[in-house]
Chains A and B, each alone.
Chain A
Amino acid sequence: MTQPQARLLGTAREGGIIYPFIVLFLVLAIWKGQTFYGKTNLLEILDQQASFLIIAAAGTMVLIAGGIDLSVGATYALCQVIATKMAESGDPVLAIFVGVLVGIGVGAVNGVIATFFRINSLIATLAMSFVITGVATLVTNGNLIIAYSALGFANLARTQFLDVTTAAWTMIGVVIILAIVLSRTIAGRYMYAAGSNSEAARLAGVRVQWIKLATFAISGGAAGLGGIIDASRVLSASSANGGTTLTFTVLAGIVVGGTSILGGAGAIWRTVVGVLFIAMIGNGFTLLAWNALYEQITLGVILLLAVGGDAWSRLRTS
């Protein structure tokens, strides 16, 4: 490969998802005009994606530190049913607090299993997702939990501030904090180190297991918060919410953004772009009134392209 080619590829990989994102945005903007790029539509996308973005930002950390969390969909459901049930008759703030705490606890359990018991996190979190879903169903008895009277609980997601919902504000806050932790703090550096070469990191004095455990705990907490935000929006919760669809949509966003499933490389801003890219495809299908079935196929193809493109560019540049 010649030098300019290599440099072009390097840049393409560095920028990655940005270019298709911009192209898609322009195409939709030209095609549908105000309907797409109008404030209402864009803010709605942001609001709808709030929980996904929170969960995906945390999931990025897990992936970078060399793990994977397949239990976020289940944790999402468990935390939302617990919080909603508590909000039904109690203090909404306490309900939210406890819900997030349960998420962090579940994540910590994932982390302990995946690190100290040395069980591959793919399997560990998959197994845990069944357990968590089971527990969530026990909490609800399989019913929809409704808290229509708990208007205080609704404030978490529905309040508007500067035309933007609190759900979106919360998301923006959480994502920025996680991005700073990952890119600017010692802990963040250790996450990259742990995922890049865990043995080297250990020998360099990094407490690899604790770092990995922390990423799982953060991921669990984020899944909980996401679930609670979505429950707060509709004032109801079910153990059937979230699930594998959520898990894999979030994972797709992370990977499309360009974070490596092999660990050690990636960034939260990438994930934000990746998740929004997928959301934009969904939005496009809705606005164009296309058959939603094709949306799934499109998503699958894009995911393959993203992963394939990454693998291909690695092969070429190495």
Chain B
Amino acid sequence: MPEAVPPEGGTPQETTLRGAHVELRGISKSFGGTRALEGVSLTIGRGSIHALVGENGAGKSTLGKIIAGAHAPDAGQLLLAGEPVRFHSPRDAIGHGVILIAQELSIVGSLTVEQNVFLGVEPRNKGFQNRRELRRRYKELAASVGFQLDGHVNAGQLRTADQQKVEIMRALCRNAQLIVMDEPTAALSRQDVEALHAVIRQLAGNGTSVVLVSHFLNEVLELADEVTILRDGRLVQTVPAAGQTEETLMAAMLGRSLDATFPAKRPGPADAPVVLSVRELRAPGVNDVSFDLRAGEILGLAGLVGAGRTEVARAIYRANRVYSGSVTVTAPAGTGKAGTGKAGKDKEITGTPRTALRAGVLMIPESRKEQGLLLGRSVRENVSLSTLAQVSRAGMVQPGSERRTVRDVLTRVDARGGGQSSPASALSGGNQQKLLFARSLLSDPTVLIADEPTRGVDVGAKRAIYELLTSLTDSGLGVLLISSDVEEILGLAHRVLVMRGGRVAAELTGDDVTEAAVLGAAFGAAERGA
């Protein structure tokens, strides 16, 4: 098998020599009435990096969880080193050297890094923790994987990338031979992604097998030895990563070829009226930010994680405290519904998110599960939440009117999966995000702030969201788009503000909007070599 492989990783030749680590035969799994996996068979070579890709709902996370014992398959067999095994719990899997690092990290924030790493397997001395031994073992472990991470600091203070390192070390000190990582880089800034990639390569180099569940195809191509593509719970193919491109993977995932990811960009509306005017805004993490947003414009807010992008959005929306500065919303004449009298009037946002909403600004927050949705409540309640007054008479919600309104707007955003009465938690990530868009549309905003609108969303839903954003601007809406995905910013924004250290480091327009320019400004002179 003479493919070109990254020299750092375990080579396929080695993989074959070391043999199969895990073998899945005809794995099927259903949740309730939904079939998540059907008859999936694949082999993961020892010491290899095996990527699972597919759209959201394709079953890749489920498959990862089955390998790691977090779910039990309904049918099929799991062979570990040739022996059939049946994991009854993640703990059971850990006993067999298989560990899952889930998307949501399980760090105990109030404990130190070393305590987190050895949580549950602390060196003991007559029932008491042996701190000296703990420290010694931690240093040994950190040195062996080459992590520069102080063991004494509270794990809760660490950046996500470092918390991920803690999780990896936790896995290693439990003698993990196979680590399943579910979207390990989804919440990381670019430099942290690089660091984590190096770690993953090193793990594989040391003979640990890695199953990588990821949405990022470039990451998959960069890291993986083999790629398994899933579609609708079925295996499409398992192929060596070498020889694949993002296009071939995407085509296999979608079952059709995807020529353009981004909708055609219309020219930026240079002389359109200003709808949002931010002046000298100071807030936690925001240091003197001023800018204008025009009607029909998508303004991209780029920068590294922690550069203050989300903080700007939250300050504008008054989700966070604001120290000083002003935010003014002006609905351009001709928009807005007749009789609401909102056109042409300046409205300053003060106080709470409620006042921001009233002024015509809507924010789709960064984390849809924690800040956006009422997961346990129905789709209908989630969508109508901000605009209940529209479907109510004398404070009483009119069920018929609400149902019709919600149905119409759900069609507009093309949200699928489950009826209006099913809980929001039952929907896939992409459809959950569409619910938030639907909620926003109902309040007919002048300005929409979309904070990472495509995070953890599958390729198809991404495209739908891009098209939605574009069509919204066509109708005169101003969009402030925050994204960690530079391509997304490049593909959608008419103008880009790059943030660094709570300030606007650069404003890019027209042909200046390039990946190099955005990243250059984002890292800037203040790059601290991290």
**A residues whose Cβ falls under 8 Å from a Cβ of B:** 2-3, 6-7, 10, 184-187, 189-190, 192-193, 196-197, 199-207, 264-265, 317-318
Contacts and interface: CB of A to CB of B under 8 A. Distances in A.
Interface in B327-374: 352-354, 357-358, 363, 365, 370-374
B395 interface: yes
Given A185-B397, A203-B317, A3 B374 contact: no
Interface stretch (B37-45, B375-383, B502-510): B375-383
A205 B443 CA distance: 11
Q: How large is the interface on B (under 10, 10 to 19, 20 to 34, 35 or more residues)?
A: 20 to 34
Contacts of B33: 3, 6-7
Given A184-B396, A199-B370, A202-B353, A189 B385 contact: yes
B46 interface: no
B370 A197 contact: yes
Given A184-B396, A203-B319, A204-B386, A196 B353 contact: no
A203 B388 contact: no
18 contacts: A3-B32, A3-B33, A10-B32, A184-B397, A185-B396, A186-B388, A186-B389, A189-B384, A190-B388, A192-B381, A193-B374, A197-B374, A200-B371, A203-B353, A204-B353, A204-B439, A206-B354, A264-B374
Contacts of A318: 425
B385 A206 contact: yes
A204 B385 contact: yes
Contacts of B363: 203
Contact of A200 (B354, B357, B374, B397): B374
A196 B377 contact: yes
Given A3-B32, A7-B32, A205-B386, 20 more contacts: A2-B30, A2-B74, A3-B30, A10-B32, A184-B397, A189-B384, A190-B388, A193-B377, A193-B381, A196-B374, A196-B375, A197-B373, A200-B370, A200-B373, A202-B353, A203-B319, A204-B353, A205-B354, A205-B357, A207-B352
Contacts of B110: none
Secondary structure of the A side of the interface? helix
A201 to B, nearest CB: 7
A264 B386 contact: no
Contact of A264 (B357, B376, B388, B389): B376
A189 B388 contact: yes
A205 B442 CA distance: 13
Of B363, B385, B397, chain A has the most CB atoms within 10 Å of the CB of B385
Contacts of A184: 396-397
B257 interface: no
A192 B397 CA distance: 14
B401 interface: no
Interface string B299-332: 0000000000000000001010000000000000
Contacts of A193: 374, 377, 381, 385
Contacts of B370: 197, 199-200
Contacts of A200: 365, 370-374
Nearest to B381: A189
A7 to B, nearest CB: 8
B45 to A, nearest CB: 33
Contact of B392 (A186, A206, A317): A186
Contacts of B74: 2
**6 cross-chain pairs, A with B, having the tightest CB-CB distances, nearest first:** A196-B374, A205-B357, A186-B388, A205-B354, A204-B385, A204-B386
Contacts of A202: 319, 352-353
Contacts of A264: 374, 376-377
Nearest to B72: A1
A7 B372 CA distance: 28
Contacts of B392: 185-186
A317 B32 contact: yes
Contacts of A185: 392, 395-397
Contact of B376 (A204, A205, A265): A265
A206 B385 CA distance: 8
B377 A192 contact: yes
Nearest to B368: A200
A10 B32 CA distance: 10
A156 to B, nearest CB: 29
A5 to B, nearest CB: 10
Contacts of B395: 185-187
A90 to B, nearest CB: 35
Interface string B421-463: 0000100000000000001000000000000000000000000
